[in-house]
Amino acid sequence: MNMKVHHPRIHPNKLEETEALLETLDPSKKPEPVQKPQRIHRAQLQTEQAQHAAEGSLAQQIDQHRARLERQQQINRSKKGDFSLRFTHIEQLHALLEGGSDEEQAEREGRIRAILEKTPESEQFDALLEAVENDPASAYATLSLMAMRLQEGHQPQLLAKIQAMLDRLSEERGAEVTAGMNTARAFATHSTDRTQKRTLRKLYYDGVVGQQSSDSVLDLLLSKFGVEGFVPALRTLQRALADDIAALSPSIPPMALRLLMSGLNDTQILSTTIMEVTEFLTRIGKSFSKVSMSVDTMTRTLLGMCRNGFYSNQLIQLGLETVGEASQHQPFYFNHLLRLIQRLPENVWGDNGKHRDSAIKLVRTLNGELSQLEKNRMGHAI
């Protein structure tokens, strides 16, 4: 008795059509004969699944063990005062941080050597930081370079003192040392001038390692670089933050770095504020010849008042510093100041916008009082 076994998922007609089509495309490529699906015993399937799970678990254990080893190596390197220097050649790192000529480097090393050999041990650490303008990363790089050169020499006592200073820098100023190393390339790209690079590093120490708010960091940038240098400095700081986040050992927790980066990315607010302040001072300057207030100072002052609240004594002092003591100038000044306050971006205001309402009310009240005083003065003069 002949029986045909039908497999529901295989359609012979369609299969023949497919074969014919493939032959027209490439006669040498025919489909392999369809194999019947093999049935796998349930016990065998469970065994294979268990093996895959065990392999996955073993792989996870290996990865976890490797991660623990790497973390321990990082800790050990930090305790020894190494900080990832095995990844960056010490001479290249020192050149990024300091630069300068060989003579300047020799002079710097000579000052440090004199401190370690002649200064009382209890005063050496502070004297060392003072010699490098309180820049822990610079001190660490210079000491590391000196230690590397002394490895082949015959001055074990000096080498021991240098290593002791490296250990103390790691323990007491480790976050700043790490920050300086992680950001060295970004700051060297911004400027080859050692003073400029050190200014940026100190700003990074204070604002980033000190975990200040993005508003405070922006204020630091304005105070150090002014309106003209603000944007290039901000872009450099953002690159430095990105390098710090991507580093093997970030200076502070990556979450804090990302939070600050997010705040600094919203630069449109500050740009708008600077533009409004510039236009305000330009209008005032056309009416009064002696306007001594700069754009960056006015911007920083206004931003601080927007965050913390407006007070009448601050407003009066701001008016005196801007247009002088002449009473007839004050109403005009505060009338334009009111327009400026109303045009500032909403996001600069603290306390969910309540500071804005109180500031507008205060300036209107103050302007009215000053206008009345000026009218009374003019009346008495007549």
Average pLDDT over residues 2-9: 43
- Residue with the two structure tokens 């992680």: 182
Indicate whether 136 pLDDT > 60: yes
Helix residue ranges per DSSP H, the chain: 12-25, 42-79, 90-97, 102-118, 121-131, 136-150, 156-172, 174-190, 194-204, 214-246, 254-265, 268-287, 295-308, 312-323, 330-343, 354-381
Using alpha carbons only, what angle is made at residue 304 by residues 300 and 307, rounded to the nearest 5 degrees? 140
Q: What is the pLDDT of residue 174?
A: 94
Q: What is the pLDDT of residue 37?
A: 42
Hey, what CATH topology would domain 176-265 get? DNA polymerase; domain 1 (1.10.150)
Q: Is the pLDDT higher at 110 or at 19?
A: 110
Task: Give the count of beta carbons closer than 10 Å to the beta carbon of residue 235.
Answer: 14
Q: What is the pLDDT of residue 10?
A: 44
Using alpha carbons only, what angle is made at residue 109 by residues 104 and 114, rounded to the nearest 5 degrees? 125
Q: What is the pLDDT of residue 373?
A: 76
Average pLDDT over residues 37-66: 47
Lowest mean pLDDT, pick from 5-14, 96-105, 116-125? 5-14
Indicate whether 3 pLDDT > 70: no
Percent of the chain residues past pLDDT 70, beyond the cut: 74
Domain boundaries, the chain: 90-173, 176-265, 268-381
With beta carbons less than 8 A apart as the criterion, state whether 164 and 123 touch: no
Supply the Cα-derived Rg of the chain in whole angstroms.
35
- Sign for the CA dihedral angle at 105, 233, 315, 375 comes to positive
- Residue with the two structure tokens 């792989």: 59
Indicate whether 54 pLDDT > 50: no
With beta carbons less than 8 A apart as the criterion, state whether 204 and 241 touch: no
Question: In whole angstroms, how far apart are CA 90 and each of 151, 239, 246?
Answer: 14, 22, 20
pLDDT single digits (tens) 289-343: 778 888 989 999 999 899 889 998 998 898 888 888 776 778 888 899 999 999 9
Average pLDDT over residues 16-36: 46
Residue 40 DSSP SS3: coil
Which structure tokens are listed for 370?
């000053």
**Is residue 379 very low, low, confident or very high in pLDDT (cuts 50, 70, 90)?**
low
With beta carbons less than 8 A apart as the criterion, state whether 81 and 137 touch: no
Per-chain mean pLDDT for the chain: 79
Q: What is the pLDDT of residue 175?
A: 95
Indicate whether 112 pLDDT > 70: yes
Lowest mean pLDDT, pick from 2-16, 78-92, 136-150, 350-364? 2-16
Indicate whether 45 pLDDT > 70: no
Q: What is the pLDDT of residue 4?
A: 42
Question: In whole angstroms, how far apart are CA 299 and each of 270, 276, 344?
Answer: 9, 9, 11
CA–CA distance, 40 with 47 (Å, rounded to integer): 11
Q: What is the pLDDT of residue 118?
A: 92
Q: What is the pLDDT of residue 46?
A: 52
With CA atoms as reference, report the closest residue to 335 among 356, 360, 353, 311.
360
Residue 81 DSSP SS3: coil
- Sign for the CA dihedral angle at 275, 279, 284, 286 comes to positive
Average pLDDT over residues 223-249: 92
Task: Name the burial class of residue 74, with classes exposed (0-12), middle (13-18) and buried (19+) by CB atoms within 10 angstroms of its CB.
Answer: middle
Residue 283: which residues within 8 A CB-CB, separation 6 or more? 336
Predicted model pTM: 0.68
Indicate whether 275 pLDDT > 50: yes
